[in-house]
Chains A and B, each alone.
Chain A
Amino acid sequence: MSTARYTPYHPRWYRRRVSVWWWLQSRSYTGFVLRELTSVAVAYFALVLLWQIRALGQGPEAYARVIARLRSPLFVVLDLLALAFVLFHSITWFNLAPKAMVVRLRGKRLPDVLIAGANYAAWVVLSAAVAAILLSR
């Protein structure tokens, strides 16, 4: 590092400068960085949701304007991209759940498949519930 200061009593460390593009060198690194970047899609959609809620509170005209804006090519592309990233987040999150959450039943560790499966099942049930509520309005 160029900012490091050296004294006669302090050895120089040998550090190779790592490229900012280190994560393109292997597939698993790329997958890792793409997974980390899903957070941007998550924040984006949280803000779109808030935008819609705010417009809904302002009245029918404001709400219709926001819906019309969401129909523009820019937002359609952003939303499609965000949907791909959010799905990637869901899948990687559920697959990691068994590693983060160790459940024991009568002293035995529940198999990973069961915990991931429970997460996927909850995903299906909650998605269906949200769709049922919104589609019945």
Chain B
Amino acid sequence: MGRPLTPFLWLLFSAGGTVAALLFPIHLFLNGLAFPLGWLSAPAYDPLRSLVGHPLTRLYLFVLVSLPLFHWAHRFRYTLYDGLQLKHLTMLIAVLCYGAAVVGSLAAAYTLWNMSS
């Protein structure tokens, strides 16, 4: 990976780690478990749809999906190097990890862009 990129990638890792640390536990608990399983009364479709239609909510959701993906890319890359001793595949792993984060972010941007209410 090009040297000049490193601080920028580290910044994305750090920002994504903070977003995930602060917001993922509550969203995972509510959106992943409590609402689907009926532990708490889930928001109805229409109010939820109009909430997500708001530009600020869409910006929030973009940050909530995109930054943690870059956090994953950075951390998982080093997990593969150290954990599985794949140091010789440095370039390939870096391209695959950051590439996946870029693709995920573009998908999130595209989806959210088309969700104006």
Residue-wise, chain B 39-79 has the 8 Å CB interface mask toward A (1 for contact) of: 01111110111011000000001001100110110111011
The number of A-B residue pairs with CB atoms under 8 Å apart is 154
Interface size on B, residues (CB 8 A): 56
Q: Is the CB of A89 within 8 A of B111?
A: no
Q: Which of A83-116 contact B (CB under 8 A)?
A: 83, 86-87, 89-90, 93-94, 100
Pick the contact of B28: A38, A43, A83, A119 (CB < 8 A): A83
A67 to B44 Cα, complex, angstroms: 12
Q: Is the CB of B65 within 8 A of A79?
A: no
Question: Known interface pairs A57-B114, A63-B45, A90-B25. Does A76 touch B33 (Cβ–Cβ under 8 Å)?
Answer: yes
Chain A residue with minimal CB distance to B76?
A39
Q: Which of A6-60 contact B (CB under 8 A)?
A: 18, 20, 23, 33, 36-40, 42-43, 45-50, 52-54, 56-57, 60
A117 to B77 Cα, complex, angstroms: 30
**Which chain B positions have C-beta within 8 A of A100?**
14
Q: Which of B70-117 contact A (CB under 8 A)?
A: 71-72, 74-76, 78-79, 82-85, 88, 104, 107-108, 111-112, 114-115
Chain A residue with minimal CB distance to B88?
A3
**Which chain A positions have C-beta within 8 A of B64?**
46, 49
Does B5 touch A at the CB level, under 8 Å? no
Interface size on A, residues (CB 8 A): 54
Question: Known interface pairs A53-B61, A76-B33. Does A135 touch B21 (Cβ–Cβ under 8 Å)?
Answer: no
A111 to B44 Cα, complex, angstroms: 45
Q: Is the CB of A83 within 8 A of B85?
A: no
Does A134 touch B at the CB level, under 8 Å? yes
Does B8 touch A at the CB level, under 8 Å? no
Chain A residue with minimal CB distance to B17?
A93
Q: Is the CB of B79 within 8 A of A36?
A: yes
Identify 20 new A-B residue pairs, CB closer than 8 A, beyond the known A20-B85, A87-B25. Answer: A20-B83, A20-B84, A33-B83, A39-B79, A42-B24, A46-B104, A47-B104, A49-B27, A50-B104, A57-B115, A60-B45, A68-B36, A70-B32, A75-B32, A76-B37, A82-B28, A89-B20, A130-B27, A134-B31, A135-B41
Task: Tell me the B residues contacting A by CB distance below 8 Å.
Answer: 14, 16-18, 20-33, 35-37, 40-45, 47-49, 51-52, 61, 64-65, 68-69, 71-72, 74-76, 78-79, 82-85, 88, 104, 107-108, 111-112, 114-115
